[in-house]
Amino acid sequence: MWAQMVELEQEVERRRRLGQESAARKALIASSYHPARPEVYNSLQDAALAPEFLAVTEYSVSPGADLKGLLQRLETVSEEKRIYRVPVFTAPFCQALLEELEHFEQSDMPKGRPNTMNNYGVLLHELGLDEPLMTPLRERFLQPLMALLYPDCGGGRLDSHRAFVVKYAPGQDLELGCHYDNAELTLNVALGKVFTGGALYFGGLFQAPTALTEPLEVEHVVGQGVLHRGGQLHGARPLGTGERWNLVVWLRASAVRNSLCPMCCREPDLVDDEGFGDGFTREEPATVDVCVLT
């Protein structure tokens, strides 16, 4: 029991340090970094979004909108696994965002990496793209869409996110092992560039004992986003040639995860944190917290 308490305290401290280090990087980037494509930092405009995406989100907020009507407006990759696909960004916006990300990668700015599995990529909140880009994408567009697609997963109650870009290239990360996301729902958008291989593969929900039986493979299409439940087991096949950059948005609903942590499947034990933390939110006071797995 004592050993578990020590381990718990060490994990809490580690996460606090991660948050503090991330905040320090963000502050330095904000004060010293000079963007190559400053227009991507402007507030999200409809012109950056694919017409198909605008159409499905417009339908989602229309009177009488329902799941049947929505499914006529996007691609169902797997009805059984509830995986869908829709164009999200225009080609010019994908190109501009990629140029900005590459410019940042080549700078001498400090860089926090997306997670323990991806060694190359960018945390968008550190780059200053959360407020102008990701938050309006979640609030204005993704929430009404997800409310129809995944009402049982908190789709209509999304209140935070974690957004990052991952990069796959020769000599760097080539593939991604099977995992599930710390999120209720996930959006994965292929930004580019030219590549072969690297397909996504999906199994069942991670709680299922036969979750990886006959995995489903999904090829990336630049500009298009794949929508799936965070608990869906998935990974990426090895890259063949070229470079692949993807925007991944973990969408979180504290109304769901406050009752059951999506990672440990237990009632969360919350510890105060900065910003969105891991997407847990206390009702009183309204602060964002993390769940510590024990």
Tokens 């292929």, located at residue: 190
Domains of the chain, earliest start first: 19-252 (2.60.120.620)
**Location of structure tokens 């995860």:** 257
Q: What is the pLDDT of residues 94-126, one digit of tens each?
A: 999 999 999 999 999 998 878 777 778 899 999
Task: Report strand pairing: 121-123 vs 160-168.
Answer: antiparallel
Q: Residue 216: pLDDT above 50?
A: yes
pLDDT exceeds cutoff 60 at 141? yes
Task: Tell me the average pLDDT across 278-290.
Answer: 55
Strands (E) located in the chain = 75-78, 83-87, 121-123, 160-168, 176-179, 185-192, 195-197, 200-205, 216-218, 224-229, 232-236, 239-242, 244-252, 270-272, 280-281, 288-291
pLDDT > 90: percent of the chain: 67
pTM above 0.75, yes or no: yes
Does 10 have pLDDT greater than 80? no
Is a pLDDT exceeding 60 seen at residue 285? no
How large is the greatest C-alpha to C-alpha distance in the chain, in angstroms?
57
Neighbours of 212 (CB within 10 A): 16
> Residue 89 has what DSSP assignment?
B
The label of the residue with tokens 């964002």 reads 288
When pLDDT is averaged across residues 202-209 and rounded to a whole number, the result is: 80
